Structure 1
Amino acid sequence: MPQTPVIAIFDVGKTNKKLFLFNEQYEIVWEKTAQFPETIDDDGDPCEDVNRLSDWVRSSLKDVLALSEYSIKAVNFSAYGASFVHLDAEGKPVGYLYNYLKPFPAALRQQFYATYGSESDLSLQTASPALDSLNSGLMLYRLKYDKPALFERIDCSLHLPQYLSYLLTTKCFSDLTSIGCHTMLWDFQQHDYHQWVKNEEIDQILAPIFPADDVVSPTETYLPYPVGIGLHDSSAALIPYLASFQDSPFILISTGTWSISMNPFNASPITPEELQYDCLCFLQFRGQPVKASRLFAGYEHEQQTKRLAEHFALSTDYYKTVAYDPTIIQSLRTNRPTSGTNFDQVKNPPMQESLFRHRDLAHFQNYEEAYHQLMLDLVSQQLISTDLVLENSPVTRLFVDGGFSKNPIYMSLLAAAFPQTEVYAASVAQATALGAALAIHKHWNQQPLPREIVELKLYSVDSVTI
């Protein structure tokens, strides 16, 4: 029986570690998922168990190589960013895969910005909001001054996606999708590492930059297949859309805990106002900048639906049964219930919590009315957040994937909020892993890219306005 040619993709998230096999039509033909308990670092803070993760990658690949029905033609990786694995001169991990939520010492923060400029200036230059440990470059700065003995042992620091590739190839590379995503390492104006990185000689422990759409060839590794160097998950998730709609400018709103609006067709420099509203730029897999804005909408939705469930004595997922009702929307907009706060005096809604949490639920007749108001408040914020990256760019389509793409109220209100743009609910099976596979398509797959990678559902503009 002939073997099916496949590409193996490791997709490593904070919670779920996944391995997929995609066939030449980019259909998932095999998969496995694992979850590991966290360990603790030398400060007692939780962190990824890098040794256990490494063992899982090696053993899982060994398992799929033993599957007689598949022939592995390539391997690639996607993983969460803002996290470094440090290697010593022998190529072995040293220290810890420190958590990007790890508290950052206030004294070191003050020292850094006193030496290299204000938070606002550095944030503008590096297109990175000041996020402490989430700025992975600052974690290297911290090791240099907070843990100098450990820092002296580091020969090379690899972002997590590139470390996963290193496990197979033993080749050290850096990748622009990891370097260029809120790390404070990359100067977007100079298209190079920021001067502070060079002054601190941190660039000396960063591996050479390698194209994310290229591979380490079998002749370099003695492996029977090419290996990609891995991608930051945010950039990987954008690739299926770039592959499918490269001739039609779009914005992608990727929804989960965060709703992230990504515009690959807006290369304008980030502004102080955009930074204030949690905008950033990251680099897509071919090196072009992508302007993005973040909204904590999924988390806020989760918190407020719990509050609604408790108030109306219903299940926490009751919202899934609520259909879009334009008459409720019209009624709310005409006679909007308040909780004693004059919302009309608020120029812009707060971006990290919804107005809804300040509303008195007793003012609503039933769950359905209250839930429609919640969605009105969230989409009002989404309009502001997405407008920040729209900024007169030639966008004709707006795609929404993730949880809110399945919410008819959210989607209908969003279509009303952007009447000049086609608004689609988009569905891509395992977009992050698929993006990592598509990035190296030319190195393993002689078939043309399939046209139906992304499933779309158009939402027409309703008479309701935001």
Structure 2
Amino acid sequence: MSASVGNIVVLDIGKTNVKLALIDASGAQLAERRKANTVLRDGPYPHHDTEGIWNWMLDTMKEFAATAPVRAIVPVTHGATAALVDAQVENSGLVLPVLDYEFEPPATQRTEYLGQRPAYDTTYSPSLPAGLNLGRQLAWLASAYPAEFARTKHILMYPQYWAWRLSGVAAGEVTSLGCHTDLWQPSRQQYSQLVERQGWSTLMPPLRNAWDALGPVLPALVERTGLPADCQVVCGIHDSNASLLRHLDATGSHAAPPAILSTGTWVIAALPGGQLDGLKEASDMLANCSALGQPVPCIRFMGGREFGALAGTEAMPCSVADLQQIIDQGTYALPAFAEAGGPFAGRKGSVVGPALPTDAERTALATLYCVLMSDWCLTALGSAGDIVVEGSFTNNPHFAPLLAALRRGQQVTVTDDASGTTSGGWMLAHWGAAPAVRSHAADPIALQGWPQYRERWLAQLA
């Protein structure tokens, strides 16, 4: 799409929240609405509330359409999720509910699947728990629900499911296909052997660019929402790749590629231009695919979820004094506090040292933990240049300064946009234009004993 497209709506479906943002031609946000991303347990397995999202989205788009003319809609979603659909787009199209990737299929199926999945050095997709390998989800659904699976016309990655429902056009796209799915070979930019062996090749729709306009919004939706009849639906993208997009130039490279720390439910460290031969499956390291098709070395942990486990869901703000108190008294959070992947998956999290009597101190411990985990991930990736922090942790005033104090010689920059996914979505609709996003360098925070605290934390991981 061109840079003159005008106002757009970005549908941003994260694992925890769903957001709709109305953004003007300059990249300025005009309106935003949010809702919780609910997992339903009233069906054959835990599944996403696609109809709840759909109806909320259409109602909100009607509100937005009454505010400003909307020229394009861009879906951006979390990974490890796919929809199996027939041809009935007007009735959701789903032949089975959209499986929640945190659901664990039977152990016997995992054993069978491990014998089917491609080698790590072809997909750079580590073996993950639950349904984080999308190939395992699909294999289980095909085995457990053969009649429903047989009705499938398309296997749609999650962003493209929403694009299909809006436009009626089925498409595939590499950023979701290349997100630890076992379905894609990033170095070769083609499907893995698993797709052919399972007979799924014919179910994969034509590949399109993330920024391609698939077509206008369906007429029935125009009538329901008041959107313009020529409002285009963009193919869409995986969320952490949306955040990465503005750091790539037209050739998919960067003059001096920074490491990107995309923070939210998942904290994902990405190193554009980095080498794949340093990736280790045991550390949950992987190669994602950028929107331009290039493999990008990555490592991640479930930072937002772990922060909540340590600080509580209603975390209280903490002060520099609270952080210093945790360091001085020697209380440590040792991974992991979420079961879904990460370099320490399978290890049960623990807090060692003196107890924390206040909510602020628990927030301080959670902050220190997430910084230490981010630092560990950046070191594992081989990050030696600039670091850019994006996403929800930019709202924590201590996160980037603490990280900067550990990464001496590397400039840590914080964007003023708490949602790099939204900026990435805007870029897809205005392909060729760069969003006007301000950023600032994080000044290292001066905490006594902070580097030594890190060394003691690392020693306890051995």
Contact 1:16 1:34 in 2 (8 A): yes
Q: State which of 315, 339, 352 in structure 2 corresponds to 1:359.
A: 352
In structure 2, do the counterparts of structure 1 residues 370 and 356 end up closer, same or farther at CA, with 3 Å as the change threshold?
farther
Contact 2:187 2:295 in 1 (8 A): no
Using the aligned pairs only, state the percent identity. Answer: 25
Deviation at 1:215, TM superposition (A): 1.5
Deviation at 1:202, TM superposition (A): 1.0
In structure 2, do the counterparts of structure 1 residues 134 and 36 end up closer, same or farther at CA, with 3 Å as the change threshold?
closer
Q: Distance in 2 between matches of 1:99 and 1:17?
A: 15
Contact 1:158 1:173 in 2 (8 A): yes
Deviation at 1:429, TM superposition (A): 4.3
Kindly indicate whether residue 425 of structure 2 is the aligned counterpart of residue 436 of structure 1: yes
Q: Distance in 2 between matches of 1:374 and 1:35?
A: 23
In structure 2, do the counterparts of structure 1 residues 243 and 183 end up closer, same or farther at CA, with 3 Å as the change threshold?
same
Residue 181 of structure 1 corresponds to which residue in structure 2?
179
Question: What TM-score, normalized to structure 2?
Answer: 0.79
Contact 2:166 2:218 in 1 (8 A): no
Residue 344 of structure 1 corresponds to which residue in structure 2?
none
Query: Any idea what the Cα deviations from partners look like across 1:58-117, whole Å, max 9, x if unmatched?
Result: 44434433x1x5222222111222222222244432111111112212222222223x36
In structure 2, do the counterparts of structure 1 residues 374 and 140 end up closer, same or farther at CA, with 3 Å as the change threshold?
closer
Q: Distance in 2 between matches of 1:35 and 1:220?
A: 26
Q: State which of 294, 299, 302 in structure 2 corresponds to 1:293.
A: 299
Kindly indicate whether residue 260 of structure 2 is the aligned counterpart of residue 252 of structure 1: yes
Q: Distance in 2 between matches of 1:418 and 1:96?
A: 44
Greater fraction of residues in helix: 1
Q: One-letter code of the match for 2:437?
A: I
Structure 1 runs of 4+ with >6 Å offset: 219-222, 353-356, 364-374
| Bigger mean CA offset, 191-200 vs 32-41 | 32-41
Contact 1:414 1:423 in 2 (8 A): yes
Deviation at 1:27, TM superposition (A): 0.6
Size of the aligned set, in residue pairs, is 424
Contact 1:285 1:439 in 2 (8 A): no
Unpaired segments ≥5 residues, structure 2: 220-227, 335-341, 455-462
Kindly indicate whether residue 414 of structure 2 is the aligned counterpart of residue 420 of structure 1: no
Question: What TM-score, normalized to structure 1?
Answer: 0.78
Kindly indicate whether residue 170 of structure 2 is the aligned counterpart of residue 172 of structure 1: yes
Q: Distance in 2 between matches of 1:137 and 1:301?
A: 29
Q: Distance in 2 between matches of 1:89 and 1:289?
A: 33
Residue 309 of structure 1 corresponds to which residue in structure 2?
none
In structure 2, do the counterparts of structure 1 residues 402 and 5 end up closer, same or farther at CA, with 3 Å as the change threshold?
closer
Mark the structure with the bigger radius of gyration: 1
Q: Distance in 1 between matches of 2:18 and 2:372?
A: 35
Q: State which of 381, 393, 400 in structure 2 corresponds to 1:411.
A: 400
| Bigger mean CA offset, 351-360 vs 254-263 | 351-360
Deviation at 1:284, TM superposition (A): 1.4
Q: One-letter code of the match for 2:417?
A: V
Query: Any idea what the Cα deviations from partners look like across 1:315-366, whole Å, max 9, x if unmatched?
Result: 974552334877x79x84xxx7479x9xxxxxxx98459999342216x999
Contact 1:424 1:459 in 2 (8 A): no
User: 1:325-404 maps to which residues of 2 (within 5 A)?
Assistant: 332=328, 337=330, 351=344, 357-361=350-354, 378-390=370-382, 396-404=385-393
Residue 303 of structure 1 corresponds to which residue in structure 2?
309
Q: Distance in 1 between matches of 2:72 and 2:331?
A: 57
In structure 2, do the counterparts of structure 1 residues 376 and 169 end up closer, same or farther at CA, with 3 Å as the change threshold?
closer
Q: Distance in 1 between matches of 2:62 and 2:126?
A: 40
Q: Distance in 1 between matches of 2:378 and 2:301?
A: 9
Q: Distance in 2 between matches of 1:409 and 1:280?
A: 28
In structure 2, do the counterparts of structure 1 residues 255 and 206 end up closer, same or farther at CA, with 3 Å as the change threshold?
same
Residue 137 of structure 2 corresponds to which residue in structure 1?
139
Residue 10 of structure 1 corresponds to which residue in structure 2?
11
Q: Distance in 1 between matches of 2:205 and 2:19?
A: 26
Q: Distance in 2 between matches of 1:5 and 1:110?
A: 51
